[in-house]
Structures are given as structure tokens and as C-alpha cells.
Structure 1
Amino acid sequence: MGTTTSGTVLAARDISKRFGGVQALDSVTLEIQAGDVRCLAGENGCGKSTLIKILSGVEVPDAGEIEIGGTVRARMSPADALRAGIQVIYQDFSLFPNLTVAENIALTPLIAHRRKLIDPRDVRARAAAVVAELGVRLDVDATVEELTVADRQLTAICRALAEQARVLFMDEPTTALTQREVRALFRVVQTLRERGVATVFVSHKLDEVLEISQHVTVMRNGAVVASGRVEEFDRMSLARAMTGRDVRDQRDVPSLDGTARPVLSVEGLGLDGAFEDVTFDLRPGEILGITGLLGSGRSEIAEALFGVTPAQRGRVEVGGEQVDIRGIDDAVAAGIGYVPSDRLTEGLFLDQSIADNVVAGSLDLHRARSGLLDRARLARTIDTFFAALRIKAPSVAAPIRSLSGGNQQRVVLAKWLARGPRVLVLNSPTVGVDVGSKEEILDILRREAGRGTGVIVVSDDIPELVSVCHRVLVVRRGRIHQVVGGERVTEDSILGGLSA
């Protein structure tokens, strides 16, 4: 029996894990102190998830040891991990949507202690005490399905505290949060730190990593390649450690003919309760950003252009011709493509192959004169985009579920690029995508713009917009509040428009 060093709550030493012919983890060592706020960074597929599964008892390591509370273990079960205070909050939060906040917070620890009879008043009192301890506003009587994403996350954190969490892993905790909600989450993390609870963030958002973390551990190809205090890193060095190469962190927009006739003209677009008087032009080869706080109407504008929720007023022209977009079919016929924010439920057929997904939106363009599908043309299209977009998979027959987030997003892009759209609208195109894949996706957009496609990027990732957009529309309360263009496309200018 060994003992951890003073203040160490969890230590993993020389952890290795192989799945078939893939070395998922190679002699990984990680030590977490009480009250530490640590970021576990790395590209998709680097081994982060496997390590967390081993530390939470879901997977068994092939080699190495785990030390908790002075006890050394070769493996743990999920029950062992929970008893030791190891908690994981995944992106779906793993809550019961039909139960109240109080029930979600208090029932699990009560059941774990084999309580056969449960008093609803006791459940509510226990939950209210945890919420008060954390110092947050949370209606313990509300059902979880009624909550915002931020409040669901708080419920999951409170549940972890109710189970006496000592180490809390959080998987991409800020992906669906507004800037205000991110600030609130960071305050909660600070409270956890003061109470001695260690928090481990898994995140691709480098600015947030550098702001909230005390320590950073970077993984690549199943191994730890860098680890240290956050002060030892900046955006460039962190991205380099994650990818193994220099990643551009500067403005790089394609050349643009400002005299070209607009490929898309929008005038007076309006939808009750969503947006009003939206007017702008998009030129061939232009990348136009649309940003705003959550609820500002930015996503609704994109969905209206693609006919998901059609506008009630206004005029839309594509290539100088007026089009009446009453539904998705109208938008597709006009030459508009759309990459949704939720690629898993709206953009892909998860159980189908890469090949099937790539051509799912363009089967009508691959018919022979007989009306039958031209299999040879289909194969050429699939192979072309599989290679051009550098989709990382064993073959085009691989199922979508087996791909990383970045490669799934490339398949969605391929599906629309196979139609040769005149206008491509992308809603949060790099959300949940690692820094290396993000750069490559933005390069794809630059390349398509260079070929004359008009591109619209809807995003709250301000550095991303600065990097790739010629102009940015700032939307507030459903109206275009500011247009930032040229040399004025900077983070300060855009953030100023959001907060003005």
C-alpha cells in the first residue's frame, strides 16, 4: 500500500491501453491535487476519453496503477470510482429529464446507500442544501426537461457534490453556453476549488483553457506530450503541443472582388419573435460572419435562409433572381446549402457509411439518362470528397459513428459541396472540434470561397470569425446592430458590438 503526496487526490501512473491494433494510451502519468483546476487538452482521438474512462472505472487498463486516498489499484469498477469521489459530467449530463432538479441531485446518493424508503421532503432539503452550498440560483422543484443547458449543467455539478465528489471531470462544459453562462460556470469552478474539489476540464477552446486552468496536460497519440502550469503556455504553444505542428492564429481571408454582383441579396427579412429587417448582400467568394448572443436571432436567420423556419417578410435573391423560400426544397433548388449546428441529429445518418452520407444530398445529380443512379459517378464523387476534405477513416465504408467530431463535420461539408452550392451557410461549424481539425475546416471554407462560393458562417467563436471572415454582422435582439468589415474585423470591435 502506497500513499499519495500531500494534497494529491488522484494519481495515474504509466497507464497503457490497447484496443485491437490501436495503442489508445501509452504509459500515461497524471497527478491531480486537491482544489486543482486542470485542463486535459488534445485533439480528438488522442486518448483523453479513454483515460477518463479508466479513471472512472468504465475501462480496465492493460498496465499501470491508479492511486486514490493512499490506496493503489490496478483497476477500478464504476462503483469503486464513485465511492472514491471520482465523478464525470459528460456533454449530455446523464440526468433524468422527467424528474425534478431535487430528485436528480439527491436520489442517486440515497439509492447508493441502499435507502428503501425516501421522503420527498428529505430529498428536497438535501438538494436545497447542496445548491445553497454552491451559491447558485437553481429551482429545485423544476423538472430537468424545463431547464436551460446551463441549469442542467449546474444540476449535474450539484449531484456530483451530493455524492461527495473529490475530482470532477467535465467534458466540453462550455460548448452550448453563452458568454454570460460561461462566466457563471467559472465562478462555480472557483467555489469548488475553494472547497478542495479538483476540476478537470476537457476542452478545445484555448482561450477558456488559459483563463480558468491552473495546470494543463496535453495528450497526443495516446501519450502525454506536455504538462505544466498554465503560465507556461500561450495559444500558439498549446496548439502546437496538441497538433505537433504550428497552427495559424491570425487573420487569413481570401482575395475578394468587391465589384462583383452579389450572389445573395437579402432585404427586409423578418420572422415574428425571431428577427426583423435583416438586410445584407453576399458577394461571390466572400465569407460573411453572423454573430450575436444566444437568443439574438443569429441561428434563426440562418434557418430562414435554408427554409427550416421560413421568414414571413422580406425578399431574397440568388444570382440576381428572386426566390421564394417556403421550405428546404426551395433553398436547395436555389443553390443554398446548410451545415446545421447539431451535426449528429440534423446533419448526418449516424448508422450509415461515409459514402452514403457524402452523396445523400445529391442523388438527383447522379442519375443516368435512364433515371437510374449512375454508380460510377457516385463512386467518383465519394472518392473525390473523401480525399479532398482529408476525412480520416479506414475507408469510405466506415460508419459515421466511428468518426471523430472533426471528421463528422467534414462529411457534412462534403454532402453539401457535392451539390456545388452557390451559397453555403454554416451554423457553428467548428463547435466541439479540436484545434487541428478546426484549422483544416476553416481552410476548406477559404478554398470554397476562392472558387466563388458565397459563404456565411454563424458563430459565437469570435477568434474564428476574425480569422476567416471578410465582414461580420453583429445581431442584437433580432436586428443587425453593427457591420464590421475590412481592417475593423478584430476581436475588440466585434465584442464591442455585442456589449454596446
Structure 2
Amino acid sequence: MPATAGGIDVRPVVLKLDNVSKEFPGVKALSGVSFDLRAGEVHAVCGENGAGKSTLMKIISGVYQPNGGTVTYKGEPVQFATTLQSEAAGIAIIHQELNLVPHLTVAENIYLAREPRRGWLVDRRRLIADAKRCLDRLGVDIDPNVQVRTLSVAQCQMVEIAKALSLNATVLIMDEPTSSLTEQEAQLLFKVIRDLKAEGTGIIYISHRLDEMAEIVDRVTVLRDGRYISTDDFADLTIDDIVARMVGRSLEDKFPEPTRVPGEDVIFSVSGLTRTGVFSDVSFDIRRGEILGFAGLMGAGRTEVARAIFGADPLDAGTITLDGDALKITDPRSAIEAGIAYLSEDRKAQGLAVKMPVDANLVMARMQAVSNSVGVIDRKQHRDASQRYVDLLNIRTPSLSQPVRLLSGGNQQKIIIGKWLFREPRIMFFDEPTRGIDVGAKFAIYQIMDELAANGIGIVLISSELPEVLGMSDRVAVFHGGRIMATLNTRDTNQEEIMHYASGSGRHAGQG
């Protein structure tokens, strides 16, 4: 409970921003934003993609310098020139986009540039022990000696959190910390957050999962289009209130009314898929016009199965059938040619060429369709094809030549969908498709998925958000320990039953 006197919160303000503004060439990212953070408080900052949340956090942590306004930390005006300066002062940030060095170990990443030393040498034993303590505090079983490149996105997220915890910060900024975590893993993080609050740490919390905030958040500030909208005690608001302030309108429904009508005929089937030590005897079907959900805890095998079907990882056994034809998939190229598309959970690293423009990204999966017989790109076909998917998917971009890295997460995800639609796939795997995407953009992605299924494309939705799985899927395959424990009709199940199987409590039930 907050420290109060006469109903007034008397916890000291550790961080304060007054009338902060930030401009980039042609863009006013922040305009006169004010904000304060108290010791031992979780203060949420909410807003759609492009509202200015990340820009504000980068100003606090020294990545950007403000064009106007002041930042006060522990009662003194500050202007950090680098993140190293802000970290040294006691401000740590967990970035939405993972900021790890793949070829270094987990321990080396956690203490990068801060390694404990014995004389001139790194004290390896202490490095491993300190890293393990940070990981144990999060309740995760990750070997501090393994290289980060071997970890899943969810495990990398936990390493990022452990890295921030190792700084023992006065102010901790969490930018989408649960975006790739399951409900159970998020609960472990919330326990750590409550412990940090009790120790007096001030936490700035950014998340598009508004429902989870009720467990930990004290106050909430809403930004819209780079401008300050409001600050209130979280207990005085409803989720609908927050959403309405974020988007400037009310959102009645979280999920679209389905237009698809799943049929009985099976269009895609896998049987006995096995990759030794990763998953075993995985079998499932997809019916025409159906969205099949994959649910499970971190490391359950959901993404690993999708990657193997797509040919990104090898299979030791099993068969894959599409429209009655057995497929021989040896690599992603053969999967793509067979009509299978995979939208990776790490869209920037594995789904986009972020430094390239919108039009190049939209056609890169099928360059031959916009090239002549000798491989020279036909500029008109290239432009027309790109514009078709910008219009079809309502991609918000100033031009086709805009670098993808400058677009919001929702528009980046739409570009990946457009890229695969240009290939005319028959099966699409959506792996965490709304990770780090605001509520308005989520609804647009859901509508696209429903329309694709209604047009006969088989869809697999892999998501750590159980409400998303239940809201969008017709059936859900629940994974545990590399196996499908049960396949359930979503209209007849609930989150409790799914978690029962996901935690391994239920017996192996195969397909439903």
C-alpha cells in the first residue's frame, strides 16, 4: 500500500519531467509532456504505437536529448548524454526490442561492460554466480553459461529483465516486459515487481496488455499523438476508460465477429513430428476456414514445431500433408514453394529487412513476379504490387519508399503479412502476431486473420496470451514438454482448462 498522510501519497518523487518536447526531422514526437514517478511506485505509461512512450523513455535513459523541457532526478536537473551515464546514476531500462549480444553467454550479457574482475582478469566464477542469482530471482531455469543465440525470444526477454535487475536501480523502466511471456511467467515477474516496490524502487511500466496492470500498477499516464492526456490512480479507472483515452474513442469489442465458417474437410495435416530432445509425436489437423491456436508455457515446443514445419529446423520423423499431398520439406525455400508461410515472433530479426523501404519488403518473397525473364525488376509491376497490399491491409506509411524501421509495430506486422500474401500461401503460421502492438492495431490484425481464414487459408495462431487464443481460435492445441496434451474446442473450454494441460497436470489427450 502507498505511504499516505491524510489520503495524500507522501512517497518522495524520484523522477520528474516538466513540459518535455522532442522533434525529429518532419515529426514532433513529444509536445509538452509532464510526468513524475514516486519511490516504491509502479507508474504505467499507456498509448498507441506512435504515441511517444518509447521516445519519452529514451529521453529518461539518455538515448535522446529533449528539444525542450526539463528532467529532474532525485531533486536535481539532469541531462544524461548516454545510457551508461543514466545506468551509473541508477536508471535501468528493459527495452521492448531485445538488446543482447547473440554470441556471448547469458552471464556475459547480464554483466556486459560490468564484469566482476580479479585484478585484470574477469572473475568467471563470480560472474556465473551473480548471473545465476539474478535468474533465480525471476524463477527461470536458464543456464548462465549458454550463448544467447541458442535461446527462444521468451528466454531472451527474461535475460533482459535479469540484466536490468543486476543494476540494482532506483528507477526501472519496463517496456513491454511480458510481451513474449506466458501468464505463468508473467506472474513470476509480477512477484519480482512487488518485491522491488517494497524495496522502494520506482518502476515505469509500459504494456499493451492492459488487463495485467490491475495486479501491479498504482498510477497510469496516457499519451496520445505525442501529447499528455491524463494521469490518474489506476484504481479510479476501468480498462475501457484507458483505451478510450489512448485512441480517442471507445472500443466496444476486443475481437472481430468471425466471418469464417470452418468446414469439416482437412486441408493440412501433420503426424508424428519429432525432433529429438525438442518435441515428439506431434500430430494435428487444420480444417478449411479454421484458425487453430497453439498454447503452452515457455519452452513447451510451440514455436519449435512451427519452425520445423517451415523447414527452418530439421525433423527426425513425421509426415506433413497439404491438400492430400505429402510434402518433403528440407528448408524454408521448399516450404514456401509448397505454400507454407511463417510469420516469426521476432519480426525485426527474422521477418523484415528493416533498413529497406516498404515496397522492397512487400515483394521480396516473390521477386520473380515483378521481374522480367532475365531477372531485371519491372519498376511499374514492383510499385503496383506493393501499393496493392498497402491498400488491402491499410498500411499507414508516408510513401512506399519509407524505411520499414520508421513504422509502428502494427504496420510492420501488416507488411510481413502482405509479403506472404504476395506468395499466395495456403497455410500461414502466425507466431505471437500482436507482440508489442497497441489495442487498435491488434484488432486490425485479428480482422485480417479472420478474412484470410474465410478465404480458405489455414491458419495456426501461436500466442502466449490466452484471451487472444480463445478469442481468435476455433480449436486450441495445448503443448507441454514438446507434446500436444490436448486439442480443445475453444467454445467449450476456458483459460483454467488450458493451463491445466499446459502445466502438465492433464494426461496426454492427443487430438480433439
Aligned partner of 1:149 in structure 2 is 156
Q: What are the Cα deviations for residues 146-196 of structure 1, in whole angstroms up to 9, with x where unaligned?
A: 6853652354234321xxx22111222223434443222222212211111
1:66 counterpart (66, 71, 76): 71
User: Equivalent of 1:160, from 163, 167, 188?
Assistant: 167
Cα–Cα, structure 1 residues 450 and 160, in superposed 2: closer, same or farther, change >3 Å?
Answer: same
1:345-356 superposed matches below 5 A: 345-356=349-360
Local SS of the residue matching 1:160? coil
> How many percent identity over aligned positions?
33
Partner of 2:266: helix, strand, or coil? coil
Match of 1:23 in 2: 28
Matched, 1:194 2:164: no
Residues 121 and 310 (structure 1), Cα distance of their counterparts in 2 relative to 1, 3 Å cut: closer
In 2: Cα distance, 1:105 partner to 1:330 partner = 41
* 1:320 equivalent in alignment to 2:311: no
The answer to whether the Cα contact below 8 Å between 1:335 and 1:421 also exists between their aligned partners in 2 is: yes
Q: RMSD between aligned alpha carbons? A: 3.5
Q: CA deviation at 1:126?
A: 13
Please say if residues 106 and 123 of structure 1, whose CA atoms lie closer than 8 Å, have aligned partners that are also in contact: no
Spell out, residue by residue over 1:441-483, the C-alpha distance to the aligned partner (whole angstroms, 9 max, x if none).
Answer: 1111111112121111112121111221111111122222111
Partner of 1:89: 94
Counterpart of 2:510 in structure 1 is none
Counterpart Cα distance in 2 of 1:313 and 1:142:
31
Deviations 1:96-125 (A, max 9, x none): 9747848955964999xxxx9668679949
Please show how residues 194-213 of structure 1 align to structure 2 within 5 Å. 194-213=198-217
SS of structure 2 residue aligned to 1:204: coil
1:391 and 2:398 are equivalent in the alignment: no
Residues 415-439 of structure 1 deviation map (CA, whole Å, 9 limit, x = unaligned):
1001111111111111122222121
How far the C-alpha of 1:265 sits from its partner, in A, is 2.2
Aligned partner letter, 2:307: E
Q: 2:368 aligns with which of 354, 364, 378?
A: 364
Instruction: Say which is worse superposed, 139-148 or 307-316, in terms of deviation.
Output: 139-148
1:496 aligned to 496, 500, 504, which one?
500
Q: 1:471 corresponds to which residue?
A: 475
In structure 1, C-alpha distance between the alignment counterparts of 2:376 and 2:388, rounded to whole Å: 21
Q: CA deviation at 1:252?
A: 3.4
Distance 1:363 1:489, change over 3 A: farther
Give the 3 Å change call, closer, same or farther, for CA 364–5 of structure 1 in structure 2: same
Checking the alignment, whether the CA contact within 8 Å between 2:486 and 2:501 is kept in structure 1 is yes
Alpha-carbon distance, 1:21 to partner: 3.0
Instruction: Tell me, yes or no, if the aligned pair for 2:479 and 2:485 is still in contact at 8 Å.
Output: yes
- Note if contact 1:102-1:123 (Cα within 8 Å) is conserved in structure 2: no
Call closer, same or farther: CA 1:11–1:96 in 2, change over 3 Å.
farther
Q: Deviations over 1:16-39 (max 9, x none)?
A: 222233221111111111110112
Amino acid at match of 2:49: N
Contact in 1 for aligned 2:106/2:159 (Cα 8 Å)? no
SS, match of residue 288 in structure 1: strand
- Tell me the amino acid that sits aligned with residue 453 of structure 1: I
- Corresponding residue of 2:242: 238
Q: Contact 2:116–2:126 at 8 Å: present in 1 too?
A: no
Indicate the SS of the match to 2:361: helix
Letter in 2 for 1:66: V
Question: Equivalents in 1 of 2:452, 2:106: separation in Å?
Answer: 48
Note closer, same or farther for the CA distance 1:275–1:80 as it changes in structure 2 (3 Å cut).
closer
Change (3 A) 1:385 1:236: same
Give the match's secondary structure for 2:365: coil
Q: CA deviation at 1:283?
A: 2.0
Q: Greater CA deviation, 219-228 or 5-14?
A: 5-14
1:446 aligns with 2:450: yes
Counterpart of 1:378, as a letter, is H
Corresponding position: 1:307 with 2:320: no
Residues 269-324 of structure 1 deviation map (CA, whole Å, 9 limit, x = unaligned)? 33322333333221222111111112212112212222222433333221222222
Amino acid at match of 1:62: N
TM-score calculated relative to the size of structure 1? 0.86
Say which of 398, 405, 413 aligns to 1:401: 405
Q: Distance in 2 between matches of 1:128 and 1:174?
A: 23
Equivalent residue number for residue 46 of structure 1: 51
Aligned partner of residue 258 in structure 1, secondary structure: coil
- Residue aligning to 2:226: 222
Question: In structure 1, how many angstroms separate the alpha carbons of the residues matched to 2:284 and 2:138?
Answer: 41
SS where residue 359 of structure 1 aligns?
A: helix
What is the number of equivalent residue pairs in this alignment?
Answer: 488
How far apart in 2 are the matches of 1:308 and 1:103?
26
In the alignment, which residue of structure 1 is the partner of 2:287?
A: 283
1:371 is displaced (CA, Å) by 6.7
User: Are 1:430 and 2:437 an aligned pair?
Assistant: no
Q: In structure 1, what residue type is equivalent to 2:258?
A: V
Q: 1:168 to 1:374 in 2, by over 3 A?
A: same
Contact 2:341–2:429 (CA under 8 A) maintained in structure 1: yes
Checking the alignment, whether the CA contact within 8 Å between 2:344 and 2:430 is kept in structure 1 is yes
> In 1, are the aligned partners of 2:157 and 2:177 still within 8 Å (CA)?
no
Give the superposition deviation at 1:62.
2.5
Q: How much has 1:386 moved relative to structure 2?
A: 0.9
Match of 2:28, as an amino acid? Q
1:100-115 to 2 correspondences below 5 Å: 101=107, 105=111, 108=114
**8 Å contact 1:264–1:281 — kept in the other structure?**
yes
Q: Distance in 2 between matches of 1:203 and 1:378?
A: 37
Q: Is 1:485 aligned to 2:489, yes or no?
A: yes
Whole-angstrom CA distance in 1 between matches of 2:465 and 2:141? 30
Equivalent AA in structure 2 for residue 492 of structure 1: E
Partner of 2:4: none
- SS of structure 1 residue aligned to 2:15: strand
